[in-house]
Structure 1
Amino acid sequence: MTLQTAPRAPLPPFSFEDAVQKVRMAEDAWNSRDPAKVAMAYTPDTRWRNRDTFLNGRTEVQAFLTDKWAKENGYRLIKEIWAHAGNRIAVRFCYEWHDEDGQWFRAHGNENWAFDANGYMAVRHASINDVPIADAERLFHWPQGRRPDDHPGLTKLRL
């Protein structure tokens, strides 16, 4: 068994607790802003829709994330489970970032995920809207990287 085929627990079918764990693992990975690490959570032939961009395979995902995080500065993300069944999980999320001119944005979105039997994400559909915000409206203030366990999630932040 290779690194690319080793099971990636938790495996489907997901219990509620497994699904919550999978969501937090995804949030932590994306907050690392490490495109190579994040891409390894997906099947080699993963299919994505991200806004108006369609991607196929880990190589395209890694390139997309490299470009994304080169322009989305100060990126901090919170994901929250919406629903789950079998090998599927739906999440809602918000992330804050600023552009090269210092304008902050809060991106609001939903994702639908489908996993293979080894726990890798095979399909990801993401719908996302960016809303300009003032620096004073920011809510995500932890140091770059993993969101601290005691930082409120989306529901407590009323997002």
Structure 2
Amino acid sequence: MAELKEAAKPPLPPFTRETAEKKVKAAQDLWNTKDPAVVKMGYTPDSIWRNRSTFLKGRDEIEAWLTDKWSVENGYRLRKELFSFTDNKIAVQFWYEWHDTTGQWWRTYGLEDWTFAEDGRMRKRMMSGNDLKLTEEERWFKDGVDVNEVVIDEKHW
């Protein structure tokens, strides 16, 4: 039986500023589903990741890691913004808020560099991030707030 070829994930490389920005927002929307089985399909079967000090390879490891992540990161809401791009690479800055099992809110922020396969799936993701403890008043991404409309600048750090 012939193996089915997976559909491409546009926009495809080589990227322009417009297509790189679309790719970043598509990734943001995908992650905001908080569905590991759906998210892993945006990556090649042999995709490699570094997430802080964790190294992963392949969709099964990605799905398991995301399942664990979102079992403790409750109320997760993410924003990604284009930082830089080339033909098949994109760098993003990101911010997301979540609360742990005790109810403590956190903001995680940092940078990612991505490399894409020809079919538009990510084949490499390298993430560096930091966590900041928040009070309720310091939160940006409260319920009902469009994460894309929040003004993020140095005054808000």
Fold match by TM threshold 0.5: yes
Q: Which has the higher contact order (CA 8 A, sep 6+)?
A: 1
Contact 2:114 2:125 (C-alpha < 8 Å) held by counterparts: yes
Number of residue-to-residue matches in the alignment: 155
Structure 1 CA distance, aligned partners of 2:113 and 2:107?
A: 20
Q: Which amino acid aligns with 1:53?
A: T
User: Structure 1, unaligned stretches of length 5 or more?
Assistant: none
Contact 2:140 2:150 (C-alpha < 8 Å) held by counterparts: no
Aligned to 2:34: 33
Aligned to 2:111: 110
Aligned residues: CA RMSD: 2.0
**Would you identify which runs of 4 or more consecutive aligned residues in structure 1 move more than 4 Å?**
155-159
Q: Match of 1:8, SS?
A: coil
Structure 2 CA distance, aligned partners of 1:153 and 1:8?
A: 29
Structure 2 CA distance, aligned partners of 1:153 and 1:37?
A: 29
In 2 relative to 1, CA 59–132 (structure 1 residues): closer, same or farther, beyond 3 Å?
same
Aligned to 1:133: 134
Contact 2:108 2:132 (C-alpha < 8 Å) held by counterparts: yes
Report the Cα offset of residue 153 of structure 1: 5.5
In 2 relative to 1, CA 149–72 (structure 1 residues): closer, same or farther, beyond 3 Å?
closer
Report the Cα offset of residue 27 of structure 1: 0.4
Structure 2 CA distance, aligned partners of 1:14 and 1:131?
A: 33
Post-superposition Cα deviations, 1:11-64, rounded to whole Å, max 9, x if no partner, equal 000010100000000000111101011000000000000010000000000000
**What does residue range 70-81 of structure 1 map to in structure 2 within 5 Å?**
70-81=71-82
Q: Which amino acid aligns with 2:37?
A: A
Aligned to 1:152: 150
User: Structure 2, unaligned stretches of length 5 or more?
Assistant: none
Structure 1 CA distance, aligned partners of 2:54 and 2:126?
A: 10
More helix as a share of residues = 2
Task: State the percentage of identical aligned residues.
Answer: 48
Aligned to 1:21: 22
**What does residue range 78-93 of structure 1 map to in structure 2 within 5 Å?**
78-93=79-94
Q: Which amino acid aligns with 2:110?
A: G
Provide the TM-score with structure 2 as the length reference.
0.92
Report the Cα offset of residue 150 of structure 1: 6.2
Structure 2 CA distance, aligned partners of 1:88 and 1:8?
A: 15
Contact 1:115 1:122 (C-alpha < 8 Å) held by counterparts: yes
Q: Which amino acid aligns with 2:99?
A: H
In 2 relative to 1, CA 130–124 (structure 1 residues): closer, same or farther, beyond 3 Å?
same
Tell me if 1:62 matches 2:89: no
Q: Which amino acid aligns with 1:140?
A: F
Aligned to 1:119: 120
Contact 1:10 1:22 (C-alpha < 8 Å) held by counterparts: yes
